[in-house]
Amino acid sequence: QVDLVESGGGLVQAGGSLRLSCAASGIIYSINTMGWYRQAPGKQREMVATITSGGSTNYADSVKGRFTISRDNAKNTVSLQMNSLKPEDTAVYYCNADITVVSSHYGNYWGKGTLVTVSS
């Protein structure tokens, strides 16, 4: 089994910063793309940012210039630095990863989510 554990969620004031982290554990052969997704109350889940094993990134237009995704391949972790937070960023943030647990055995995994609340 593979576990993704998020940390760093919490309550912040608008304009503040927060850093989310996600660690993958288990029997892992390799991790391909990792990313962060979020789901606000009453809304569909949306992609926030993704990063490939080689470091190529992709961001939702709504967070470009404010959020930065990074990863540490040696530690199997991915982070999301969130700056200039807005109330509209309030959501449950989920970590996602494409993982090969054994050579040629691929799977997509989700963390349980961490709540980020931005007050005005």
In the prediction, which pLDDT does 53 show?
Answer: 93
User: Cα–Cα distance between 34 and 52 in angstroms, integer?
Assistant: 6
The residues with which 15 forms a beta bridge, in sequence order, are none
In the prediction, which pLDDT does 34 show?
Answer: 97
In the prediction, which pLDDT does 102 show?
Answer: 80
Percentage of residues of the chain with pLDDT beyond 90? 91
What is the three-class DSSP state of 87? helix
Burial zone of 78 (CB within 10 Å; 0-12 exposed, 13-18 middle, 19+ buried): buried
User: What's the whole-number mean pLDDT along residues 14-37?
Assistant: 95
The mean of the pLDDT values for the chain is 96
Distance of CA 89 to the CA centre of its chain: 13
